[in-house]
Amino acid sequence: MAACVSNLSLFILSLLIVYFVPVQSGGGFSAQLIHRDSPRSPFHNSSETHSQRLTNAFLRSINRLSYFNTSRLELQSDVFSDGNIGEYIMNISIGTPPVEILGIADTGSDLIWTQCKPCAHCYKQDAPLFDPKSSSTYEPLSCLSTECKALNATINGTFCPPKAGDSTCLYTYTYGSGFTKGDLATETVTLTSVSGEQIAFPKTIIGCGRNNSGGFDKREFGIIGLGGGVVSLVSQLGSSIDGKFSYCLVPISDVPYYSSKIYFGANAIVSGYGVVSTPLVKKNPDTFYLLTLLAISVDDVIIQFKGSSFGTTEGNIIIDSGTTVTMLPKYFYLELESAIASKIQAKRVHDPDKVFGLCYKFNSNFKVPKIVVRFAFASVKLDPLNTFIMITKHVGCFTFLPTDDGFAIYGNLNQMNFWIGYDTVKRTVSFKPTDCTMH
């Protein structure tokens, strides 16, 4: 019997360590995305075994589900992981003079926030708290501001009490594992290249956290929201990136040796032979990037998808770079597992950590069937590296898990070695099979 997700009370955020690098052609940027498990990451934990890293990451994918139930520039960036699969942090600077912060880069939330001084309740962090009084460009938003009134409907919290007048606009943002409360403000956000060049984006809306709690590490100073809502970094960069960003994630086996990449602007357009595109479906809230899953085929067997808790037709699955495994409603997962098990002749074994339900002993008999994820207008053929991952030296497990709650999330193991582009203006997501170690 496959392991099934039922306890969704916790949430661990996706993390991206991002260093922005200007692209000389067109005046844009690039940034490295270094996996947290890479020896080049400041979060690398050499004492953890491969199996421990995988298990911890998969459990965090399960816990993440609770949260989901709730002029043109070219930017490019390498992504650095912070030590566990599927988790990344992002390096930016805020304020004038710029103060560098490492924030959790979360494609599943919108608000950009950091811990601020003075703080009523802050979790312990390595660096000093950001001091708004030391920045010449920090401007708190008042309760009478149009930004505060507009954001009242987009962030999951109350901003101003009745008859608040011109007092500071307050926010509350709740995650599955915690929350942040504080002042809304505008501030200069600076993206710094590895060569030392800096590009400033003034009057960016941020949260100045005064009361923060949750599953944060002392090396993480807040969150950089990369979702689809109006206050995310992607949305606030707006016309400067023409609503476009993309990434190319290297396979897990290559994480110690290669960087992944994230791109913004015209540089992010996914084009060329083999590109397929599917509509990006907008729903409330507009934070999540929703696609329409029609079916998954296993060789000649086509398993129709009848929907999830996000809907039965359009926009029934979230694509999320911060969730490791793909999560599917239990009814659909069991059909998929059965179809795959009927095609594989190798010896089936138990996952030693009891996370996965479909595992095999890797030997010469192990051959993965052809698996195709069929989105609306886009069929994505997965390679074996996308669908089975080595848990131990001789045991590999299926990179999908069932959920009792009916959630559907397309995880990052299925996205590796694909160049994936988001166009929030044309409302499309594009996939191109790519060797991301060469991208």
Give the model confidence (pLDDT) of 157-200 as tens digits.
Answer: 556 766 666 788 888 887 766 788 999 999 999 875 444 567 78
CB 19, CB 191: distance < 8 Å: no
In which band, very low, low, confident or very high, does the pLDDT at 83 lie, cut at 50, 70 and 90? very low
Phi-psi region of 113 (alpha: psi -120 to 50; beta: other; left: phi over 0): beta
> What's at 351, amino acid-wise?
D
Candidates 310, 317, 320; CA nearest to 295 is 317
Q: What is the DSSP letter of 168?
A: B
- Who has greater pLDDT, 117 or 238? 117
Whether residue 118 is preceded by a cis peptide bond, meaning omega within 30 degrees of 0, is yes
Output the pLDDT for position 415.
93
Q: Is 320 a catalytic residue?
A: yes
Whether residue 97 is preceded by a cis peptide bond, meaning omega within 30 degrees of 0, is yes
The Cα–Cα gap between 175 and 156 comes to 9
Q: What is the pLDDT of residues 379-424, one digit of tens each?
A: 999 999 999 998 888 899 999 999 988 999 999 899 999 999 999 9
**Burial readout 187-208 (b: 16 or more C-beta within 10 A, e: otherwise):** bbbbbbbeeeeebebeebbbbb
All structural domains of the chain: 17-266 (2.40.70.10), 272-433 (2.40.70.10)
Output the pLDDT for position 6.
35
CB 148, CB 142: distance < 8 Å: yes
Q: What is the pLDDT of residues 335-372, one digit of tens each?
A: 999 999 999 989 999 987 888 889 999 887 789 999 99
Catalytic one of 37, 78, 82, 106: 106
* Cα separations in angstroms, 212 against 10, 46, 122, 225, 358: 16, 29, 5, 16, 39
Catalytic one of 320, 351, 353, 423: 320
* Cα separations in angstroms, 71 against 146, 187, 240, 287, 422: 24, 20, 5, 24, 19
**Burial readout 318-335 (b: 16 or more C-beta within 10 A, e: otherwise):** bbbbbbbbbbbbbebbbb
Output the pLDDT for position 230.
86
Q: What is the pLDDT of residues 212-259, one digit of tens each?
A: 987 677 777 888 888 998 889 899 988 888 999 888 888 888 877 887
Q: Is 435 a catalytic residue?
A: no
Whether residue 369 is preceded by a cis peptide bond, meaning omega within 30 degrees of 0, is no
Q: Rounded to 5 degrees, what angle do the CA atoms 328, 332, 334 make?
A: 100
* Cα separations in angstroms, 320 against 13, 220, 260: 11, 20, 16
Q: Token match 């943002």: residue?
A: 173
In which band, very low, low, confident or very high, does the pLDDT at 1 lie, cut at 50, 70 and 90? very low
Output the pLDDT for position 171.
87
Q: Token match 């191109």: residue?
A: 432
- Who has greater pLDDT, 191 or 109? 109
- Who has greater pLDDT, 330 or 149? 330
DSSP-based three-state secondary structure for 333: helix
Q: Is the pLDDT of residue 277 over 90?
A: yes
In which band, very low, low, confident or very high, does the pLDDT at 73 lie, cut at 50, 70 and 90? very low
CB 4, CB 241: distance < 8 Å: no
DSSP strand pairing (428-433 vs 418-423): antiparallel
Q: Which two structure tokens, joined as six digits, stand for 142?
A: 């008042």
Q: Is the pLDDT of residue 62 over 90?
A: no
The Cα–Cα gap between 2 and 338 comes to 10
Instruction: Please compute the mean of the pLDDT values over residues 263-277 and round it to a whole number.
Output: 90
